[in-house]
Amino acid sequence: MPEYLPTAPYRGTRDFLPAEMSVRTQVFEHLYRVIESYGYQRYDGPILESAEIYEAKSGQELADQQLYTLTDRGGRRLALRPEMTPSVARMIAGNAGSLQFPVRWYSHPNCHRYERPQRGRVREHWQINVDIFGSESANCEIELFELVHDIMGALGATEDMFVVRANDRTLLSSALSDVVGVTGEQLLQVFSLVDRWEKYDREKLAADAAEIGLTDKQFERLGETLTAGTALLDELPAAVREASHLVEVLNSDAGRLVKFDPMIVRGLAYYTGTVFEVYDTSPENNRALFGGGRYSDLAGLFTPKEIPGIGFAFGDVTLIDFLTTHDLLPKPRNEFDVAVIPVVAELGGAARSVASALRRAGLRTSSPLEHRKLGKELTRADKAGAKVVVIVGQEDWDAGNVTVRSLATRDQRTVPAAEAADAVTRLLTGSP
């Protein structure tokens, strides 16, 4: 017996059969339209990047544990991109002389991380990235928060289905230093602890805090700080509050779009200011869906020119989980809307010419690749979701006609072949 290769995809990756791909395509098309309505332009970049750009700024966990790396024949260390933000920062820096800032860009790359596959996490995923480069205005935050709400609305989500939880790393740094008493050497480790705060039980958090060097009193004060909400802002120096983009947003009419939450910190090391995460409020899927923030110096890896950036990214896995939880997934599209069927094999060319005319009229049309009996082709068209069939019979064709039939109502009419597209359109739209 021959040994066959496995048919399952590599662990943590997925096959998308046509029905699932149809659902995904419909979802992403909604998102593209909303994002582009704000003036964002789509870009793309290579799936292979220098491993250094992730090791420099993306954080230790990603660089040490999640990168897929390789060494090419020239001895260069490369990585399959685990995220898009360092790549777009490289592209912005490399083309800064020809760009008119601020720029609004978006992309939809596939990314790879060596994760432990589980609900919400796989090893290859697709994510939409939305970024603004070249502006320090708090209007950037406001626009992105508005865009998030419009994106969720375009997917059918209502305001009670999600919440945008936002923080500012400068505010959190001040709170940790001035309120909790964290030292500068401990700050990044405590950031990491805060990022895990809702994922672990209190004993584990206390043990991790002790390992960092926090006292029991500091640990208690840290817990109080992270749950203080907007009351925490009153404990911070006025100069810190005045410099915060997020505080400016909270004090504007756009403050209704977000909830201030000191617990939001984001795991990636390049964030420097505003950070936010969008959470599903359903008890069945109460988790972060996606997030982002401001990165003031990421382009500094590639250029001495200061180019501030802010953006967010959301992956397909958590997005589809959200839509499934709230019963918002669209139905798969049918294979085609119209089937053109020749009654005899000799009319195959005639059927193809009619099908071509229907396609030129914008109709999704199929014709048989192999000749089969009319009844079997009608059954196949019905199972494929076709709404209308065009039957090409010898007698009709000799007279320059075809038969157009609705599969839903069985209504049919004989029309000139040149008018088939109009007749099909009327049946599809219910017009007389």
- If you classify domain 338-429 with CATH, what class do you get? alpha beta
Do 18-325 and 338-429 show the same overall fold? no
Q: Is the pLDDT of residue 9 over 90?
A: yes
Cα torsion at 117, 226, 190, 173 (round to 10°)? 120
33-60, pLDDT tens digit by residue? 999 999 999 999 999 999 988 887 656 6
Q: Is the pLDDT of residue 15 over 90?
A: yes
Task: Residue count of the chain, please give it.
Answer: 432
CB atoms closer than 10 angstroms to residue 174? 21
Q: How confident is residue 294, by pLDDT bands cut at 50, 70 and 90?
A: very high
Mean pLDDT of 325-338: 96
Mean pLDDT of 4-32: 95
Residues in binding site: 83-85, 113, 127, 131, 266, 270-271
25 is written with which tokens?
């395509």
Q: Measure Cα distances from 219 to 173, 222, 235, 273, 363 in Å.
A: 15, 5, 18, 24, 65
Half-sphere exposure of 430 (CA within 13 A, CB side): 1
172-181, pLDDT tens digit by residue? 999 999 999 9
Nearest-angstrom CA–CA distance, 89 and 295: 10
388-423, pLDDT tens digit by residue? 999 999 999 999 999 999 999 888 999 999 999 999
If phi over 0 gives left and psi between -120 and 50 gives alpha, with beta otherwise, what is residue 286? beta
Q: What is the per-residue pLDDT for 301?
A: 83
Q: Does residue 27 contact residue 330 with C-beta atoms inside 8 Å?
A: yes
Q: Is the pLDDT of residue 328 over 70?
A: yes
Nearest-angstrom CA–CA distance, 387 and 423: 13
Mean pLDDT of 346-374: 97
Could you tell me the residue ranges of all domains in the chain? 18-325, 338-429
98-151, pLDDT tens digit by residue? 999 999 999 999 999 998 888 878 999 999 999 999 999 999 999 999 999 999
Q: What is the per-residue pLDDT for 267?
A: 74
- 187 Cβ contact partners less than 8 Å away, ≥ 6 residues apart: 173, 176, 177
Under DSSP, the state recorded for 341 is E
Nearest-angstrom CA–CA distance, 206 and 193: 10
Q: What is the per-residue pLDDT for 431?
A: 77
Q: What is the per-residue pLDDT for 10?
A: 93
Q: Is the pLDDT of residue 268 over 80?
A: no
Share of the chain above pLDDT 70, in %: 98
Fold of 18-325: BirA Bifunctional Protein; domain 2 (3.30.930)
188-201 burial, b at 16+ Cβ within 10 Å, e below that, comes to ebbbbbbbebeeee
Nearest-angstrom CA–CA distance, 304 and 302: 7
Residues in binding site for L-histidine: 83-85, 113, 127, 131, 266, 270-271
Q: Is the pLDDT of residue 61 over 70?
A: no
Mean pLDDT of 163-188: 94
